[in-house]
Structure 1
Amino acid sequence: MSDTDVAATPPVGGVDHHVSVDPAVAVPEPRAAADGGPDMVQLLTPEGERVPNAEYDEIVAALSNEDLRGLYRDLVLIRRFDLEATSLQRQGELGLWVSLLGQEAAQIGCGRALRPQDHAFPGYREHGIAWTRGIDPMRIIAMYRGVDKGAWNPDEHHFHGYTIVIGNQVLMGTGYAMGVQRDGAVGTDDPERDTAVVAFMGDGATAQGDVNEGFVFAGVYNSPIVFFCQNNQWAISEPNERQTRVPIYKRADGFGFPGVRVDGNDVLAVYAVTTQMLDRARSGQGPSLIEAFTYRMAAHTTSDDPTKYRVSAEVEVWKLRDPVARYKRWLMSEGIADTAFFEAVESEADELAAHVRTATVTMPDPDVDDIFDQVYVEPHQQVEDDKAAFHAYQDTFEEVQA
Structure 2
Amino acid sequence: MAGPRPKAPLPSPAGRSTAEGRPPSAEELLPSAEPVRFLTDSGAVVRRRSAYRAPDEALLRRAYRRMVVGRRFDAQATALTKQGRLAVYPSSHGQEACQIGAVLALNEDDWLFPTYRESMALVARGIDPVEVLALLRGNAHCGYDPERHHTAPQCTPLATQSVHAAGLAYAERRKGTGRVALACVGDGATSEGDFHEALNFAAVFKAPVVFLVQNNQYAISVPLDRQTAAPSLAHKGVGYGVRSERVDGNDPVAVLAVLGAAVEHARSGDGPFLVEACTYRLEAHTNADDPSRYRTEGEAARWRRRDPVARLEAHLRRRGLLTDEDVEACAAEAEEFASRLRERMNADPELVPLGMFDHVYGTPTPQLDEQRALLRTELEAEEALP
* Band the TM-score falls in, shorter-chain normalisation: 0.7 to 0.9
Determine the structure 2 residue equivalent to 1:93.
85
Asked whether 1:278 is paired with 2:273, we answer no
Determine the structure 2 residue equivalent to 1:109.
101
Q: Percent of counterpart pairs with the same letter?
A: 38
Determine the structure 2 residue equivalent to 1:43.
38
Determine the structure 2 residue equivalent to 1:240.
224
Equivalent position amino acid for 1:95 in 2: A
Distance 1:342 1:241 in 2: 39
Deviations 1:16-52, CA, capped at 9 Å, x for gaps: xxxxxxxxxxxxxxxxxxxx99521011111100125
**Aligned-pair distance for 1:158?**
1.2
Equivalent position amino acid for 1:47 in 2: S
**Aligned-pair distance for 1:329?**
0.7
Asked whether 1:360 is paired with 2:345, we answer yes
**Closer/same/farther in 2, CA of residues 110 and 56 from structure 1, 3 Å limit:** farther
1:77, 1:352 within 8 Å by CA — same for their partners in 2? yes
**Aligned-pair distance for 1:257?**
1.6
1:56, 1:273 within 8 Å by CA — same for their partners in 2? no
Distance 2:84 2:139 in 1: 14
Q: Which moved more, 1:80-89 or 1:176-185?
A: 176-185
**Aligned-pair distance for 1:349?**
1.1
**Aligned-pair distance for 1:143?**
1.8
2:70, 2:124 within 8 Å by CA — same for their partners in 1? no
1:56, 1:272 within 8 Å by CA — same for their partners in 2? no
Deviations 1:120-157, CA, capped at 9 Å, x for gaps: 11111112321232211111222211123213222211
In the TM superposition, 1:83-232 aligns within 5 A as: 83-185=75-177, 194-232=178-216
**Aligned-pair distance for 1:108?**
0.8
Distance 1:113 1:54 in 2: 22
Asked whether 1:80 is paired with 2:75, we answer no
Using the size of structure 2 for normalisation, the TM-score is 0.87
Determine the structure 2 residue equivalent to 1:394.
379
Distance 2:112 2:365 in 1: 30
Determine the structure 2 residue equivalent to 1:27.
none
| Structure 2, unaligned runs of 5 or more | 1-30
Equivalent position amino acid for 1:79 in 2: R
**Aligned-pair distance for 1:69?**
1.7
Asked whether 1:337 is paired with 2:329, we answer no
**Closer/same/farther in 2, CA of residues 219 and 354 from structure 1, 3 Å limit:** same
Using the size of structure 1 for normalisation, the TM-score is 0.84
Distance 2:274 2:195 in 1: 11
Query: What secondary structure sits across from 1:175 in the alignment?
Result: helix
**Closer/same/farther in 2, CA of residues 375 and 38 from structure 1, 3 Å limit:** closer
- CA-atom RMSD in angstroms: 1.9
**Closer/same/farther in 2, CA of residues 382 and 298 from structure 1, 3 Å limit:** same
Determine the structure 2 residue equivalent to 1:319.
304
Moved over 6 A (4+): none
**Closer/same/farther in 2, CA of residues 153 and 359 from structure 1, 3 Å limit:** same
Determine the structure 2 residue equivalent to 1:21.
none
Query: What secondary structure sits across from 1:58 in the alignment?
Result: coil
Deviations 1:82-138, CA, capped at 9 Å, x for gaps: 001101101211100010010001111121011122111111111232123221111
Determine the structure 2 residue equivalent to 1:260.
245
Asked whether 1:351 is paired with 2:336, we answer yes
**Aligned-pair distance for 1:375?**
3.3
1:267, 1:327 within 8 Å by CA — same for their partners in 2? yes
**Aligned-pair distance for 1:180?**
1.3
Count residues with an aligned counterpart: 355
**Aligned-pair distance for 1:57?**
5.7
Distance 1:355 1:309 in 2: 36
Equivalent position amino acid for 2:208 in 1: P
1:96, 1:145 within 8 Å by CA — same for their partners in 2? yes
Query: What secondary structure sits across from 2:102 in the alignment?
Result: helix
**Aligned-pair distance for 1:281?**
0.6
Distance 1:262 1:387 in 2: 48
Query: What secondary structure sits across from 2:53 in the alignment?
Result: helix
**Aligned-pair distance for 1:183?**
1.2
2:357, 2:368 within 8 Å by CA — same for their partners in 1? yes
Distance 1:184 1:161 in 2: 24
